[in-house]
Structure 1
Amino acid sequence: MADFIEFLHTLPYGDVFAANPLLAVALLALCLSMVGGAIRKGAPAIGGLMRGVGSFGLVAVLVLTVIDLARLNPDLAMPQLGVPEQVVDGEETHVPLAGDGHYWINARVNGHPVRFLVDTGASLTAISPETAEAAGIDAQSVLGTVRLETANGSAPAHLTSIDRLETGTIRAKDLRAVIAPTMNGMNVLGMNFLSRLERWSVEDGTLVLVPHDPQAPAQS
Protein backbone atom coordinates (compact mmCIF):
# COMPACT_ATOMS: atom_id res chain seq x y z
CA MET A 1 0.00 0.00 0.00
CA ALA A 2 2.82 2.41 0.89
CA ASP A 3 4.55 1.66 -2.45
CA PHE A 4 1.28 2.28 -4.29
CA ILE A 5 0.82 5.66 -2.59
CA GLU A 6 4.44 6.60 -3.40
CA PHE A 7 3.72 5.72 -7.05
CA LEU A 8 0.63 7.92 -7.00
CA HIS A 9 2.75 10.87 -5.88
CA THR A 10 4.70 10.61 -9.17
CA LEU A 11 1.57 11.04 -11.32
CA PRO A 12 0.00 14.31 -12.47
CA TYR A 13 -2.18 15.53 -9.61
CA GLY A 14 -0.36 12.87 -7.61
CA ASP A 15 -0.98 14.56 -4.27
CA VAL A 16 -4.73 14.35 -4.86
CA PHE A 17 -4.57 10.67 -5.78
CA ALA A 18 -2.18 9.85 -2.93
CA ALA A 19 -4.58 11.41 -0.44
CA ASN A 20 -7.49 9.48 -2.03
CA PRO A 21 -6.16 6.11 -3.27
CA LEU A 22 -9.68 4.75 -3.78
CA LEU A 23 -10.26 7.52 -6.32
CA ALA A 24 -7.13 6.45 -8.19
CA VAL A 25 -8.27 2.81 -8.19
CA ALA A 26 -11.74 3.83 -9.40
CA LEU A 27 -10.30 5.85 -12.31
CA LEU A 28 -7.97 3.00 -13.24
CA ALA A 29 -10.84 0.51 -13.16
CA LEU A 30 -13.00 2.83 -15.27
CA CYS A 31 -10.22 3.21 -17.84
CA LEU A 32 -9.73 -0.56 -18.03
CA SER A 33 -13.45 -1.08 -18.53
CA MET A 34 -13.65 1.55 -21.28
CA VAL A 35 -10.57 0.30 -23.13
CA GLY A 36 -11.79 -3.28 -22.82
CA GLY A 37 -15.13 -2.29 -24.33
CA ALA A 38 -13.39 -0.47 -27.19
CA ILE A 39 -11.19 -3.42 -28.18
CA ARG A 40 -13.67 -6.17 -27.46
CA LYS A 41 -14.72 -6.62 -31.08
CA GLY A 42 -11.15 -7.00 -32.35
CA ALA A 43 -9.83 -8.93 -29.36
CA PRO A 44 -12.79 -10.40 -27.52
CA ALA A 45 -10.75 -12.38 -24.99
CA ILE A 46 -8.50 -9.51 -23.93
CA GLY A 47 -11.30 -6.95 -24.16
CA GLY A 48 -13.63 -9.10 -22.10
CA LEU A 49 -10.94 -9.66 -19.48
CA MET A 50 -10.17 -5.95 -19.22
CA ARG A 51 -13.87 -5.08 -18.88
CA GLY A 52 -14.28 -7.77 -16.24
CA VAL A 53 -11.30 -6.55 -14.23
CA GLY A 54 -12.48 -2.96 -14.57
CA SER A 55 -16.01 -3.80 -13.46
CA PHE A 56 -14.69 -5.81 -10.53
CA GLY A 57 -12.46 -2.89 -9.53
CA LEU A 58 -15.38 -0.46 -9.57
CA VAL A 59 -17.50 -2.80 -7.45
CA ALA A 60 -14.61 -3.27 -5.02
CA VAL A 61 -14.18 0.51 -4.68
CA LEU A 62 -17.90 0.88 -4.00
CA VAL A 63 -17.83 -1.83 -1.34
CA LEU A 64 -14.74 -0.37 0.32
CA THR A 65 -16.29 3.09 0.31
CA VAL A 66 -19.44 1.79 1.99
CA ILE A 67 -17.34 -0.08 4.58
CA ASP A 68 -15.27 3.04 5.15
CA LEU A 69 -18.40 5.08 5.82
CA ALA A 70 -19.85 2.38 8.05
CA ARG A 71 -16.73 2.15 10.18
CA LEU A 72 -15.57 5.74 10.29
CA ASN A 73 -18.75 7.79 10.41
CA PRO A 74 -20.42 6.87 13.69
CA ASP A 75 -23.26 9.40 13.27
CA LEU A 76 -24.44 7.52 10.17
CA ALA A 77 -23.39 3.95 10.68
CA MET A 78 -22.83 2.92 14.24
CA PRO A 79 -26.51 2.46 15.20
CA GLN A 80 -27.02 0.11 12.26
CA LEU A 81 -23.95 -1.91 13.25
CA GLY A 82 -25.33 -2.49 16.74
CA VAL A 83 -22.40 -1.08 18.71
CA PRO A 84 -22.68 -2.31 22.32
CA GLU A 85 -23.01 0.45 24.88
CA GLN A 86 -20.37 1.14 27.51
CA VAL A 87 -21.29 0.71 31.17
CA VAL A 88 -20.04 2.09 34.48
CA ASP A 89 -19.10 -0.53 37.07
CA GLY A 90 -18.16 1.17 40.32
CA GLU A 91 -15.22 3.43 39.53
CA GLU A 92 -14.53 1.74 36.20
CA THR A 93 -15.86 2.40 32.72
CA HIS A 94 -16.29 -0.74 30.62
CA VAL A 95 -16.38 -0.53 26.83
CA PRO A 96 -17.33 -3.75 24.95
CA LEU A 97 -15.68 -4.61 21.66
CA ALA A 98 -17.87 -3.53 18.74
CA GLY A 99 -18.78 -5.74 15.83
CA ASP A 100 -16.28 -3.92 13.60
CA GLY A 101 -13.39 -4.98 15.87
CA HIS A 102 -12.91 -1.56 17.47
CA TYR A 103 -13.67 0.07 20.79
CA TRP A 104 -16.02 3.04 20.54
CA ILE A 105 -16.53 5.41 23.47
CA ASN A 106 -19.50 7.68 24.09
CA ALA A 107 -18.22 10.94 25.52
CA ARG A 108 -18.95 14.63 25.88
CA VAL A 109 -16.57 17.27 24.55
CA ASN A 110 -17.27 20.57 26.28
CA GLY A 111 -20.76 19.20 26.93
CA HIS A 112 -21.34 18.10 23.30
CA PRO A 113 -22.04 14.34 22.82
CA VAL A 114 -19.38 12.69 20.67
CA ARG A 115 -18.43 9.12 19.76
CA PHE A 116 -14.72 8.31 19.71
CA LEU A 117 -12.74 5.44 18.25
CA VAL A 118 -10.05 4.28 20.71
CA ASP A 119 -6.70 4.06 18.91
CA THR A 120 -3.68 3.01 20.97
CA GLY A 121 -1.51 3.67 17.92
CA ALA A 122 -2.37 7.38 17.93
CA SER A 123 -0.23 9.58 20.15
CA LEU A 124 -2.72 12.46 20.11
CA THR A 125 -6.49 12.65 20.32
CA ALA A 126 -8.05 13.82 17.05
CA ILE A 127 -11.44 15.42 16.41
CA SER A 128 -13.23 16.30 13.21
CA PRO A 129 -13.90 19.92 12.18
CA GLU A 130 -17.62 19.26 12.74
CA THR A 131 -16.98 18.14 16.32
CA ALA A 132 -14.69 21.10 16.93
CA GLU A 133 -17.33 23.53 15.70
CA ALA A 134 -20.15 21.92 17.70
CA ALA A 135 -18.01 21.92 20.86
CA GLY A 136 -16.81 25.50 20.39
CA ILE A 137 -13.17 24.51 19.82
CA ASP A 138 -10.91 26.65 17.63
CA ALA A 139 -7.55 25.81 16.10
CA GLN A 140 -4.90 27.50 18.22
CA SER A 141 -2.41 29.17 15.92
CA VAL A 142 0.18 29.46 18.70
CA LEU A 143 0.31 25.67 18.88
CA GLY A 144 0.93 25.30 15.14
CA THR A 145 0.08 22.40 12.86
CA VAL A 146 1.19 18.80 12.47
CA ARG A 147 1.00 16.26 9.66
CA LEU A 148 -1.04 13.14 10.28
CA GLU A 149 -0.19 9.85 8.63
CA THR A 150 -3.47 8.10 7.81
CA ALA A 151 -4.55 5.25 5.55
CA ASN A 152 -5.25 7.88 2.89
CA GLY A 153 -1.80 9.45 3.13
CA SER A 154 -0.28 12.43 4.91
CA ALA A 155 -2.45 15.44 5.72
CA PRO A 156 -2.13 18.63 7.81
CA ALA A 157 -4.01 19.01 11.10
CA HIS A 158 -4.33 21.97 13.46
CA LEU A 159 -3.29 21.62 17.08
CA THR A 160 -5.81 22.63 19.74
CA SER A 161 -6.87 21.86 23.30
CA ILE A 162 -10.11 20.35 24.62
CA ASP A 163 -11.26 22.12 27.76
CA ARG A 164 -13.28 19.19 29.06
CA LEU A 165 -13.73 15.62 27.86
CA GLU A 166 -16.05 13.37 29.91
CA THR A 167 -16.89 9.70 29.61
CA GLY A 168 -18.15 7.33 32.27
CA THR A 169 -16.37 8.19 35.54
CA ILE A 170 -13.56 10.01 33.70
CA ARG A 171 -12.99 13.76 33.38
CA ALA A 172 -10.06 14.99 31.31
CA LYS A 173 -9.30 18.72 31.29
CA ASP A 174 -7.09 20.70 28.91
CA LEU A 175 -6.50 17.67 26.71
CA ARG A 176 -4.22 18.35 23.73
CA ALA A 177 -5.80 17.35 20.42
CA VAL A 178 -5.68 17.95 16.69
CA ILE A 179 -8.49 19.05 14.40
CA ALA A 180 -8.19 16.60 11.51
CA PRO A 181 -10.17 17.49 8.36
CA THR A 182 -9.29 14.32 6.41
CA MET A 183 -10.66 11.59 8.69
CA ASN A 184 -14.20 11.33 7.29
CA GLY A 185 -15.76 12.93 10.33
CA MET A 186 -14.22 10.40 12.72
CA ASN A 187 -13.01 11.27 16.23
CA VAL A 188 -10.11 9.35 17.78
CA LEU A 189 -9.02 8.98 21.40
CA GLY A 190 -5.26 8.64 21.45
CA MET A 191 -2.63 7.65 24.00
CA ASN A 192 -2.47 11.15 25.50
CA PHE A 193 -5.96 10.44 26.89
CA LEU A 194 -5.26 6.86 27.99
CA SER A 195 -1.99 7.86 29.68
CA ARG A 196 -3.93 10.11 32.06
CA LEU A 197 -5.76 7.15 33.55
CA GLU A 198 -4.64 5.21 36.60
CA ARG A 199 -4.79 2.15 34.39
CA TRP A 200 -6.47 0.75 31.32
CA SER A 201 -6.65 -2.83 30.12
CA VAL A 202 -8.51 -5.23 27.86
CA GLU A 203 -10.22 -8.02 29.79
CA ASP A 204 -12.24 -10.71 28.01
CA GLY A 205 -12.80 -8.43 25.02
CA THR A 206 -13.82 -5.44 27.13
CA LEU A 207 -11.80 -2.24 27.43
CA VAL A 208 -11.59 -1.26 31.11
CA LEU A 209 -10.79 2.37 31.97
CA VAL A 210 -9.91 3.34 35.54
CA PRO A 211 -9.31 7.05 36.35
CA HIS A 212 -7.14 8.43 39.14
CA ASP A 213 -10.01 10.50 40.48
CA PRO A 214 -13.37 8.90 39.57
CA GLN A 215 -16.28 11.27 39.09
CA ALA A 216 -20.03 10.76 39.00
CA PRO A 217 -20.92 9.10 35.66
CA ALA A 218 -21.35 11.63 32.85
CA GLN A 219 -24.49 11.56 30.76
CA SER A 220 -23.26 10.66 27.26
Structure 2
Amino acid sequence: MRGFAIGALVAAALIGWAAGGGRWPALRPAPSAPHVLIAHARPAATPPAPAPAPVPFLTPGTLTIARGAEGHFFVDGDIAGTTLRFVVDTGASAVAIGRDDAQSAGINLAALDFNHEGQTAGGTTRYAPVTLPRVRVGSIELPDVQAVVLDVPSTPPLLGQSFLGRIDKVSIEGDRMTLSKL
Protein backbone atom coordinates (compact mmCIF):
# COMPACT_ATOMS: atom_id res chain seq x y z
CA MET A 1 0.00 0.00 0.00
CA ARG A 2 2.83 2.33 0.89
CA GLY A 3 4.42 1.73 -2.56
CA PHE A 4 1.13 2.69 -4.19
CA ALA A 5 0.98 5.97 -2.24
CA ILE A 6 4.57 6.86 -3.21
CA GLY A 7 3.80 6.01 -6.85
CA ALA A 8 0.72 8.23 -6.75
CA LEU A 9 2.75 11.12 -5.32
CA VAL A 10 5.43 10.71 -7.99
CA ALA A 11 2.77 10.57 -10.71
CA ALA A 12 1.09 13.73 -9.34
CA ALA A 13 4.44 15.50 -9.25
CA LEU A 14 5.19 14.52 -12.85
CA ILE A 15 1.74 15.69 -13.97
CA GLY A 16 2.38 19.02 -12.24
CA TRP A 17 5.79 19.26 -13.91
CA ALA A 18 4.27 18.55 -17.36
CA ALA A 19 1.43 21.02 -16.76
CA GLY A 20 4.04 23.63 -15.88
CA GLY A 21 5.58 23.42 -19.34
CA GLY A 22 8.43 21.22 -18.20
CA ARG A 23 9.18 23.36 -15.14
CA TRP A 24 8.29 22.69 -11.55
CA PRO A 25 5.27 24.76 -10.50
CA ALA A 26 7.28 26.32 -7.69
CA LEU A 27 9.64 27.83 -10.27
CA ARG A 28 6.83 29.59 -12.15
CA PRO A 29 5.86 33.07 -11.03
CA ALA A 30 2.91 32.92 -8.69
CA PRO A 31 -0.23 34.50 -10.12
CA SER A 32 -0.81 37.82 -8.45
CA ALA A 33 -4.19 38.37 -6.90
CA PRO A 34 -5.82 41.66 -7.81
CA HIS A 35 -5.86 44.21 -5.03
CA VAL A 36 -9.39 45.39 -4.34
CA LEU A 37 -10.27 48.44 -2.32
CA ILE A 38 -13.96 48.80 -1.56
CA ALA A 39 -14.77 52.44 -0.99
CA HIS A 40 -18.50 52.36 -1.68
CA ALA A 41 -21.28 49.84 -1.38
CA ARG A 42 -21.97 49.88 -5.14
CA PRO A 43 -20.40 47.14 -7.30
CA ALA A 44 -16.97 47.91 -8.72
CA ALA A 45 -16.78 48.51 -12.46
CA THR A 46 -14.75 46.05 -14.45
CA PRO A 47 -11.66 47.80 -15.78
CA PRO A 48 -11.41 47.86 -19.56
CA ALA A 49 -9.26 45.20 -21.13
CA PRO A 50 -5.87 46.47 -22.25
CA ALA A 51 -5.56 47.21 -25.94
CA PRO A 52 -3.98 44.34 -27.83
CA ALA A 53 -0.36 44.82 -28.77
CA PRO A 54 0.05 45.80 -32.41
CA VAL A 55 0.81 42.85 -34.62
CA PRO A 56 3.87 43.42 -36.79
CA PHE A 57 2.78 43.42 -40.38
CA LEU A 58 4.38 40.78 -42.48
CA THR A 59 2.57 39.88 -45.63
CA PRO A 60 3.50 36.65 -47.33
CA GLY A 61 3.32 36.38 -51.09
CA THR A 62 5.09 35.60 -54.31
CA LEU A 63 6.13 38.15 -56.87
CA THR A 64 7.51 37.48 -60.35
CA ILE A 65 9.48 40.30 -61.98
CA ALA A 66 10.38 40.48 -65.67
CA ARG A 67 13.89 41.60 -66.63
CA GLY A 68 13.93 45.17 -67.94
CA ALA A 69 15.33 46.31 -71.28
CA GLU A 70 18.70 47.24 -69.67
CA GLY A 71 19.05 43.80 -68.08
CA HIS A 72 17.99 44.98 -64.60
CA PHE A 73 14.97 43.90 -62.59
CA PHE A 74 12.65 46.78 -61.66
CA VAL A 75 9.76 46.46 -59.24
CA ASP A 76 7.13 48.90 -58.04
CA GLY A 77 6.76 49.18 -54.29
CA ASP A 78 6.52 51.65 -51.48
CA ILE A 79 8.19 52.82 -48.32
CA ALA A 80 5.67 53.77 -45.66
CA GLY A 81 3.10 54.58 -48.37
CA THR A 82 5.41 56.50 -50.75
CA THR A 83 5.43 54.78 -54.15
CA LEU A 84 8.85 54.04 -55.63
CA ARG A 85 10.26 52.05 -58.54
CA PHE A 86 13.10 49.95 -57.11
CA VAL A 87 16.03 48.39 -58.90
CA VAL A 88 16.38 44.90 -57.39
CA ASP A 89 20.07 44.72 -56.50
CA THR A 90 21.15 41.41 -54.98
CA GLY A 91 24.67 42.84 -54.59
CA ALA A 92 23.57 45.82 -52.48
CA SER A 93 23.86 45.21 -48.75
CA ALA A 94 20.86 47.40 -47.89
CA VAL A 95 17.85 49.19 -49.27
CA ALA A 96 19.23 52.53 -50.47
CA ILE A 97 17.31 55.69 -51.33
CA GLY A 98 18.25 59.29 -52.08
CA ARG A 99 17.35 62.36 -50.05
CA ASP A 100 14.31 63.25 -52.20
CA ASP A 101 12.71 59.81 -51.80
CA ALA A 102 13.53 59.79 -48.08
CA GLN A 103 11.86 63.15 -47.61
CA SER A 104 8.80 61.97 -49.59
CA ALA A 105 8.60 58.94 -47.29
CA GLY A 106 8.44 61.24 -44.24
CA ILE A 107 12.02 60.80 -43.03
CA ASN A 108 13.34 63.86 -41.20
CA LEU A 109 16.57 64.59 -43.08
CA ALA A 110 17.73 67.11 -40.48
CA ALA A 111 17.86 64.32 -37.87
CA LEU A 112 20.09 62.06 -40.00
CA ASP A 113 23.83 61.58 -39.57
CA PHE A 114 25.48 61.59 -43.02
CA ASN A 115 28.94 60.96 -41.53
CA HIS A 116 29.20 57.43 -42.96
CA GLU A 117 30.89 56.52 -46.23
CA GLY A 118 30.22 53.56 -48.47
CA GLN A 119 31.06 52.27 -51.92
CA THR A 120 28.42 52.45 -54.62
CA ALA A 121 28.59 51.83 -58.36
CA GLY A 122 29.29 55.57 -58.71
CA GLY A 123 32.14 55.59 -56.19
CA THR A 124 32.37 56.60 -52.54
CA THR A 125 29.16 58.17 -51.21
CA ARG A 126 28.17 59.58 -47.85
CA TYR A 127 25.07 58.05 -46.27
CA ALA A 128 22.95 57.92 -43.12
CA PRO A 129 21.58 54.64 -41.71
CA VAL A 130 17.83 54.50 -41.03
CA THR A 131 15.17 51.94 -40.17
CA LEU A 132 12.18 52.14 -42.50
CA PRO A 133 8.87 51.39 -40.76
CA ARG A 134 7.73 49.21 -43.66
CA VAL A 135 8.72 48.32 -47.21
CA ARG A 136 6.33 46.72 -49.68
CA VAL A 137 6.97 45.28 -53.13
CA GLY A 138 4.09 43.60 -54.89
CA SER A 139 2.19 41.71 -52.21
CA ILE A 140 5.22 41.26 -49.93
CA GLU A 141 5.45 43.68 -47.03
CA LEU A 142 8.09 43.71 -44.29
CA PRO A 143 8.35 45.87 -41.16
CA ASP A 144 11.46 47.57 -39.77
CA VAL A 145 13.77 47.32 -42.76
CA GLN A 146 17.34 48.59 -42.32
CA ALA A 147 18.27 51.05 -45.06
CA VAL A 148 20.56 53.91 -45.96
CA VAL A 149 19.73 57.37 -47.21
CA LEU A 150 22.41 58.39 -49.69
CA ASP A 151 23.63 61.97 -49.50
CA VAL A 152 22.46 62.68 -53.06
CA PRO A 153 19.21 64.37 -54.05
CA SER A 154 17.96 61.69 -56.39
CA THR A 155 19.06 58.18 -57.27
CA PRO A 156 17.20 55.06 -58.35
CA PRO A 157 16.08 53.34 -55.13
CA LEU A 158 17.82 50.00 -54.59
CA LEU A 159 16.09 46.98 -53.09
CA GLY A 160 19.08 45.36 -51.40
CA GLN A 161 19.83 42.54 -48.99
CA SER A 162 18.30 44.19 -45.91
CA PHE A 163 14.97 43.40 -47.63
CA LEU A 164 15.92 40.49 -49.91
CA GLY A 165 17.70 38.65 -47.08
CA ARG A 166 14.41 38.45 -45.20
CA ILE A 167 12.66 36.84 -48.16
CA ASP A 168 12.38 33.04 -48.09
CA LYS A 169 13.34 32.59 -51.73
CA VAL A 170 14.92 34.76 -54.42
CA SER A 171 15.47 33.02 -57.72
CA ILE A 172 16.29 33.99 -61.30
CA GLU A 173 15.33 31.77 -64.20
CA GLY A 174 15.96 33.24 -67.63
CA ASP A 175 14.42 36.70 -67.73
CA ARG A 176 12.28 36.21 -64.61
CA MET A 177 13.08 36.86 -60.95
CA THR A 178 10.80 35.39 -58.30
CA LEU A 179 10.58 36.67 -54.73
CA SER A 180 8.68 34.47 -52.27
CA LYS A 181 7.79 35.15 -48.64
CA LEU A 182 6.03 32.21 -47.05
Where on the TM-score scale, by shorter chain, does this alignment land: which range? Answer: 0.5 to 0.7
Q: TM-score, normalised by structure 1?
A: 0.51
Larger radius of gyration: 2
Look up the match of 1:123: 93
Total equivalences in the alignment: 123
Q: Which has the higher contact order (CA 8 A, sep 6+)?
A: 2
Residues 103-155 of structure 1 deviation map (CA, whole Å, 9 limit, x = unaligned):
01100111111011111111111011111111102359687743121233212
CA contact 2:99–2:152 (8 Å) conserved in 1: no
**Counterpart residue identity of residue 206, structure 1:** R
Separation in 2, partners of 1:108, 1:151: 23
Taking every aligned residue pair, what percent have the same amino acid on both sides?
A: 28
Looking at structure 2, the residues matched to 186 and 93 of structure 1 have their Cα atoms a distance apart, in angstroms, of 20
Q: Per-residue CA shift, 1:8-48, capped at 9, x if unaligned? A: xxxxxxxxxxxxxxxxxxxxxxxxxxxxxxxxxxxxxxxxx
Of Structure 1 and Structure 2, the greater helix share is in 1
Task: Please give the alpha-carbon distance, in whole angstroms, between the structure 2 residues aligned to 1:132 and 1:167.
Answer: 17
Q: Where is the strand percentage greater, Structure 1 or Structure 2?
A: 2
CA displacement at 1:172 relative to structure 2: 1.1
Note the alpha carbon deviations across 1:149-196, whole angstroms, 9 max, x for none.
123321210111111111112111110111013384211011111111
1:134-145 alignment runs, 5 A limit: 134-139=104-109, 145=115
Change (3 A) 1:189 1:107: same
Matched, 1:191 2:178: no
Between the aligned partners of 2:151 and 2:84, the Cα distance in structure 1 is 16
2:121 pairs, out of 127, 151, 165, with 151
RMSD: 2.3
Once the two structures are overlaid, the 10-residue window that deviates more, 119-128 or 132-141, is 132-141
Where structure 1 has 5 or more consecutive residues not aligned to the other structure, the ranges are 1-89, 213-220
CA distance in structure 2 between the partners assigned to 1:131 and 1:184 by the alignment: 7
Q: How many angstroms apart in 1 are the aligned matches of 2:62 and 2:142?
A: 15
